[in-house]
Structure 1
Amino acid sequence: MKQNYFLRSLFILLLFTAFTSCNDDEGYTPVPEPPVQVSPVDVNLANVPYPTLSQYKFFTGDMKNMEPAYKVIPYDLNSTLFTDYAHKKRFVWMPANTSATYNGDANVLDFPNGTVLIKNFYYDNVQPENTRKIIETRLMIMKNGEWIFANYLWNDAQTEATLDMAGKNIELAWIENGVPMNTTYRIPSGNECFTCHKSDEVPSAIGPKPQNLNKSYTYSNGSANQLSRWIQEGYLNTAPQNITSTIDWTDTSKSLDMRVRSYLDINCAHCHKEGAHCDYRPIRLAFNETTDPVNLGVCVEFQQPVGQGQSHIIARGVYQRSMMYYRMNSVEDNERMPLMGRSVKHTEALQMMQQWISGLGEPCP
């Protein structure tokens, strides 16, 4: 009995000693909770668009390097809109504790208030210095439930970009894949943005649809599916399943039909759909609608002759008689398609269209 009492007393003494030594100033110090990381981005909806791009704090370090700040997520599309061979870097930012919602494979995600879509247009090998030059950054900001546009023109020093909604032409010479090229690059006005970015007279985004985002992207910490990454970041609250996706139209290992449909979707469908700028024309070029050859214009007679010798929108087997090819091959303001964003011929796409039309079979009756 005395032995048990002695052992219990010894145990209590040791426990008390251990406890007091852990709280000694020279002993154990509790580890503080790590600080919660907060995005530095500043998007005050009452004040946007800001006069300068730097005010948003989208980028860290030298702004021209386009290194995204915390919670500014880079993204890409399976096939991208052609803009006179300009390269593009895209980013998305959303306010804390908000996320987008899936609304169908072929529909733009439903984005929360305060979302910003960030698209930077730049060229490499710009002459005569043979350097990279960022031309403009276009923002779409979800403000009070509706997209607004904000275009920023970069200065020559590449240190700042200034709000410019009036539109501007810039003479540009550069080397693309070893070929010297030049163009009068057009920075669109607000009205020009609205021409393409509208649906039923309401401003709308074009690219960020699940069908276009469903691809792997190489982030700074490794590769991941973009939609999965958005869910991980809290930017998407639903995991869409079995997405019918567009493809990279430049991937020649894919079927020619899929490549053409993917190209026309991203370059043409935003105008050739119900409620859009060219909805009066008898074609519908969204990826989910072009399984029907009639929507592509195959053997469909056109309403307004433009060139000479064209018989159908797509003259099966004869690209020279196809109005779509004629307009894609033209650089005239009143003939070319798309209407905006292109002043030079997209040579690689024209070669693809030639091959596709020529292989469609017997000529139209």
Structure 2
Amino acid sequence: MRKIYWGAVLALMLAGCGAPREAVTIHERNAIPDNLSDWHVVEAIDGKLALNDRVTPYDLNTALFTDYAHKLRTVWMPEGSSAAYGEDDFDYPVGTIISKTFYYPLAADGSVLKTDDYSQDFAGSGLNLKKVKLIETRMLVKRADGWQALPYVWNEAQTDAVLEIAGDATRLQLASDDGSSEGFTYVVPDANQCSGCHADNHTQKATRPIGPRARHLNKDYAYQGGTENQLLYWQQVGYLSGLPELAQVPHNVSYSDTSVSLEERARSYLDINCGHCHNPKGAADTSGLMLYSAEHNMRRLGVCKPPVAAGTGSGDRLFAIVPGSPDASILNFRVESTDPGAMMPELGRSLVHKEGTELLKEWIATMPGNCS
């Protein structure tokens, strides 16, 4: 009778279907790995950027502009833990890992594409590495003493990303559908800059997530098992507790959704791109210009408001917003600038977001009144 060596059989079976992935690993603050793959959150495996078990993708109603980069956002929480709902902030459990991978769709000549089409990006819930170029993955890790920001930069072979505390810069050629292209430098912020942007409470100076908040997450997402509201999905998988009825949850809109009002679109755009600094507790609190979603005082929103300090950042214009006159408004000057001494936001972009600036122009052009 022939002997069966079950160890050898098991080894062959594993080799045939791929070895099981290691679980998501939480590394201590003082023992951060050099390679992104050591976290086992998102990894380049078999031609795709694969998400590990319980690593959940998500999206935002309107996203922060970053040189036309596409973004794959994920959240993971330790088994048995969940975030507690809050209208302005969620209380995330210790051990939460939030990742954001910045990438571009690839053109046939190796340049990167300027496009709003995400349809070719995905392989399952991850990314198809034959179709995209990975640039960086930013991690936010919730520690007992607060959040830690970690920037990882993808290597040329697209096999792994390496920790770059000092940031990085990559020269890219951005191709448009009309055949035009432009070169630009994509800048990966250093760890301190990441923490600075995420410290939207200037007094506490504590890093925390900006995007995954109720008003930004309150939208449908096309999961592998079907389309569902993200907040309800987080509740179902155990990632969110205390969620009220959806009708009571704030809701930003997509800045490109022309079925909603121009006011809603512009305010949502300003909220995600500017509101983390321009709020009563943010780094720009002394400016008196409040661009976050909860502001309803038109003067504080910038209408006929002079700058606190003049200079190159004002473009020699007198008011943040001049109703009916975007070309006389400081806000338009700053978002349309690429001068480091004038542009807003100050970090995270080298290019002008043409679609966003056109939206703000249209919004201000239709405002009634004047500043005389």
TM-score normalised by the shorter chain: which range applies?
Answer: 0.7 to 0.9
Unaligned runs of 5+ in 1: 1-36
User: In the TM superposition, what whole-angstrom CA distance separates every residue of 1:85-107 from its partner, at most 9, and x where no partner exists?
Assistant: 11100000000110000112xx2
Q: Given the alignment of the two structures, is residue 44 of structure 1 paired with residue 45 of structure 2, yes or no?
A: no
**What secondary structure is seen at the aligned counterpart in 2 of 1:203?**
coil
Identity, % of aligned pairs? 35
- Please give the residue correspondences for 1:98-117 in structure 2 after superposition, counting only pairs within 5 Å: 98-104=81-87, 107-117=88-98
Cα displacement (A) at 1:128: 3.9
SS of residue in 1 equivalent to 2:272: helix
Given the superposition, is the C-alpha separation of residues 97 and 45 from structure 1 closer, same or farther in structure 2, using an over 3 Å criterion?
farther
Match among 312, 315, 319 for residue 319 of structure 2: 312
Q: CA RMSD in A?
A: 2.0
The 5 Å alignment of 1:228-307 reads: 228-241=232-245, 242-289=248-295, 291-305=296-310, 306=312, 307=314
**CA deviation after TM superposition for structure 1 residue 188, in Å:** 0.5
Task: Tell me how far apart the structure 1 counterparts of residues 238 and 229 of structure 2 sit (CA, whole Å).
Answer: 14
Provide the aligned length of Structure 1 versus Structure 2.
326
Q: Is the 8 A contact 2:44 2:159 kept in 1?
A: no
Q: Secondary structure at the match of 1:326?
A: helix
Compared CA separation, residues 63 and 210, structure 1 to 2 (3 A): farther
Rounded to whole Å, the distance in 2 between the matches of 1:137 and 1:308 is: 35
Show the counterpart of 1:192.
193
Letter in 1 for 2:283: H
AA aligned opposite 1:296: L
Q: Does 1:323 align with 2:346?
A: no
1:211 corresponds to which residue?
Answer: 215
Structure 1 CA distance, aligned partners of 2:100 and 2:194? 13
Cα distance change on mapping 1:324 and 1:38 into 2, 3 Å: same
Amino acid at match of 1:109: F
Deviation sequence 1:78-130 (CA, Å, 0-9, x none): 000001111100000000110000112xx221100000000000011358424
Q: Distance in 1 between matches of 2:307 and 2:108?
A: 42
Mapped contact 2:22–2:40 kept (Cα < 8 A)? no
Letter in 2 for 1:270: H
Match of 1:170 in 2: 170
Secondary structure of the equivalent of 2:233? helix
**Cα distance change of structure 1 residues 50 and 341 upon mapping to structure 2, 3 Å threshold:** same
Residues 177/81 of structure 1: CA separation in 2 closer, same or farther (3 Å cut): farther
* Cα distance per residue 1:217-263 (max 9 Å; x no partner): 00011011100110111000112231121000111111000001000
> Where does residue 355 of structure 1 map in the other structure?
362
| Structure ID, larger Rg | 1
Q: Is the 8 A contact 2:83 2:241 kept in 1?
A: yes
Aligned twin of 1:121: 102
Q: CA, structure 1 residues 128+38, in 2 after alignment: closer, same or farther (shift >3 Å)?
A: closer
- Measured in 1, the distance between the counterparts of 2:364 and 2:269 equals 14
The reply to whether residue 149 of structure 1 matches residue 144 of structure 2 is: no
Q: How far does the alpha carbon of each residue in 1:132-163 deviate from its partner, in whole angstroms, 9 at most, with x for none?
A: 21000000000114000111110011001011
